[in-house]
């Protein structure tokens, strides 16, 4: 494939697939990177510096391929999401991006959502764990060690919605009232209408990914988080299809909570993953009140958005929380935070979320030694109280560093730990 406006690095190799969707990374992979909008110009290069050092310390080398989306793409290509970018992310399989701005109310639709759909990155994965030294609003942040799997392509995020006052919404309103018989359900006057599709296919592949992850990483449970008591045919179906996967596809490796109580008095077999479910509003309490009892959470898109942010708040918030969008044989790592335009280009914000997103990328490449080094080096830097403004304002005696200085301090620690 040729690229119009970006260069493929002259050295380095592609990450390939081994088996159906297992990634096999060489020691010199080509990795596309989108720095992103706003503070992406700060956190993108900072993360690159740390990930390069981690590769170097473990005898490897990353060959970066800069690609563009959002504002930087508009400058070069005159469009938000050029074909060069999606093609590079598709071809090289493992990539990382910073935040992209989405205008509220009007303007173009989310580029993040477009990328996830275009590349069929159907699972948004966020490992949420506490780093020592990071201030938290809860008493025992170290109890937080959950991995959220949020379905990324369906639900009310599918973009099937009609604006109030348009002919299209009037047609949908009439169909709902006249054809479907919900004639006194929608109040008179202007109305916006959206559709919430949850499919068996979309649910099952997401739940399968979550269970596979739990088995591979020695996790104890997978919790299906839904609002099926109210939205029976969408969120309730998510729960039912999730249990179907658990019961039909894993043999003795997976056991449902009901079976556990019926047959084993609540005692799980060794190494088995227990699958249970919780209603979403209850789950938002449970992550605060019974933090250490949950492990992997699998959720439809909207629940996943809320619950993963609530988990992130317990470990220090947006400057810290990493994530990745994952499909079959493809990973696009990205921090949870947005582009925070008011801080753009000030070399001020915390690059930890972007660095730790890179750590997830390294894990998917099978570079667990490098991934662990990244985590340990970030943690040591924060324990030493060398931190960016967001942490410094919450702790006593911290040394306030710029984004680039923090990244340099992490690299120093990483080299010492290697
Ligand atoms: P945001 O960009 O995440 O920023 C909200 C606040 O969070 C900032 O003002 C700052 O708080 C804190 N923060 C975020 N990142 C930080 C970092 N790296 N270090 C320290 N503090 C950080 O959220 P937003 O203002 O709602 O969204 C701005 C734009 O980003 C929107 O266009 C939105 O659509 C987009 N967005 C993109 C993504 C994505 O690309 N995946 C995700 C979310 C939002 P203080 O000012 O209190 O210090």
**Cα 98 to middle of ligand 1, angstroms:** 11
Catalytic positions are 157, 227, 281, 305
pLDDT, residue 1, reads 63
When pLDDT is averaged across residues 327-338 and rounded to a whole number, the result is: 94
129-138, 162-171, 262-271: the lowest-pLDDT one: 262-271
By most ligand atoms within 8 Å of CB, the mutation choice from 41, 339, 394, 406 for ligand 1 is: 339
> Can you tell me the distance from the alpha carbon of 35 to that of 165, in angstroms, rounded to the nearest whole number?
38
Pocket of ligand 1 (CB under 6 A): 39, 43, 99-102, 112, 318-319, 334, 337-340, 349-350, 353, 390
> Which atom of ligand 1 is closest in space to residue 335's alpha carbon?
41
pLDDT, residue 400, reads 98
Confidence of residue 107 (pLDDT cuts 50, 70, 90): low
Burial class (CB in 10 A: 0-12, 13-18, 19+), 174: exposed
Give residue 186's Cα distance to chain centre: 35
> Can you tell me the distance from the alpha carbon of 15 to that of 33, in angstroms, rounded to the nearest whole number?
14
Name the pTM for this structure: 0.92
> Can you tell me the distance from the alpha carbon of 22 to that of 197, in angstroms, rounded to the nearest whole number?
29
Smallest CA separation from ligand 1 atom 10, residue: 340
- Alpha-carbon distances, residue 155 vs 111, 151, 203, 352 (angstroms): 17, 8, 10, 30
What does the pLDDT look like over 45-64, one tens digit per residue?
A: 999 999 999 999 999 999 99
**Cα 339 to middle of ligand 1, angstroms:** 5
What does the pLDDT look like over 292-315, one tens digit per residue?
A: 999 999 999 999 999 999 999 999
Smallest CA separation from ligand 1 atom 38, residue: 338
Q: Rounded mean pLDDT of the chain?
A: 94
The yes-or-no verdict on residue 104 having pLDDT over 80 is: no
% of the chain at pLDDT higher than 90: 84
**Cα 366 to middle of ligand 1, angstroms:** 30
> Which atom of ligand 1 is closest in space to residue 97's alpha carbon?
40
> Which atom of ligand 1 is closest in space to residue 103's alpha carbon?
32
When pLDDT is averaged across residues 101-109 and rounded to a whole number, the result is: 70
φ/ψ of 361, rounded to 5, equals -60, -45
The yes-or-no verdict on residue 399 having pLDDT over 70 is: yes
> Which atom of ligand 1 is closest in space to residue 100's alpha carbon?
40
Smallest CA separation from ligand 1 atom 39, residue: 99
By most ligand atoms within 8 Å of CB, the mutation choice from 304, 320, 340, 382 for ligand 1 is: 340
**Cα 309 to middle of ligand 1, angstroms:** 12
pLDDT, residue 105, reads 61
> Which atom of ligand 1 is closest in space to residue 110's alpha carbon?
34
Smallest CA separation from ligand 1 atom 5, residue: 340
**Cα 38 to middle of ligand 1, angstroms:** 9
**Cα 258 to middle of ligand 1, angstroms:** 41
The yes-or-no verdict on residue 271 having pLDDT over 70 is: yes
**Cα 354 to middle of ligand 1, angstroms:** 12
Confidence of residue 114 (pLDDT cuts 50, 70, 90): confident
Smallest CA separation from ligand 1 atom 42, residue: 338
Smallest CA separation from ligand 1 atom 47, residue: 390
When pLDDT is averaged across residues 254-274 and rounded to a whole number, the result is: 89
């Amino acid at each position: 494939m040729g690229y119009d406006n970006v260069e493929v690095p002259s050295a380095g190799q592609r990450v390939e697939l081994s088996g159906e969707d297992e990634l096999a990374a060489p020691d010199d992979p080509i990795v596309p990177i989108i720095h992103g909008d706003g503070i992406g110009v700060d956190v993108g290069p900072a993360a690159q510096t740390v990930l390069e050092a981690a590769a170097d310390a473990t005898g490897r080398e990353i060959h970066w391929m800069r690609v563009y989306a959002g504002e930087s793409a508009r400058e070069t290509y005159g469009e938000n999401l050029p074909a060069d970018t999606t093609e590079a992310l598709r071809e090289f399989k493992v990539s990382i991006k910073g935040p992209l701005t989405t205008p509220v109310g009007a303007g173009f639709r989310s580029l993040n959502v477009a990328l996830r759909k275009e590349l069929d990155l159907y699972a948004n994965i966020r490992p949420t764990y506490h780093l020592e030294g990071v201030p938290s609003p809860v008493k025992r942040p170290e109890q937080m060690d959950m991995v959220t799997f949020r379905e990324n392509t369906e639900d009310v995020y599918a973009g099937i919605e009609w604006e109030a006052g348009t002919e299209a919404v009037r047609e949908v309103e009439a169909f709902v009232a006249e054809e479907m018989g919900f004639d006194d359900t929608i109040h008179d006057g202007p109305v916006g209408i959206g559709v919430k599709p949850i499919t068996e296919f979309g649910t099952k592949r997401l739940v399968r990914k979550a269970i596979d992850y739990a088995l591979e990483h020695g996790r104890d449970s997978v919790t299906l988080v839904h609002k099926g008591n109210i939205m029976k045919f969408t969120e309730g179906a998510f729960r039912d299809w999730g249990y179907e996967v658990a019961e039909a596809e894993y043999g003795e490796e997976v056991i449902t909570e009901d079976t556990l109580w019926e047959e084993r008095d609540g005692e799980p077999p060794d190494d088995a993953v227990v699958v249970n479910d919780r209603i979403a509003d209850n789950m938002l309490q449970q992550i605060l009140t019974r933090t250490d009892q949950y492990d992997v959470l699998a959720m439809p898109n909207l629940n996943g958005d809320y619950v993963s942010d609530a988990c992130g708040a317990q470990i220090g918030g947006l400057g810290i929380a990493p994530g990745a969008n994952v499909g079959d044989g493809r990973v696009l790592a990205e921090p949870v935070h947005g582009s925070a335009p008011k801080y753009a280009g000030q070399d001020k914000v915390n690059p930890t979320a972007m660095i730790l997103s890179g750590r997830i990328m390294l894990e998917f490449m099978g570079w667990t030694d490098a991934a662990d080094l990244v985590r340990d080096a970030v943690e040591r830097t924060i324990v030493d109280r060398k931190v960016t403004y967001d942490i410094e304002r919450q702790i006593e005696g911290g040394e306030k560093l710029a984004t680039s200085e923090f990244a340099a301090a992490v690299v120093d620690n990483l080299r010492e730990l290697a």
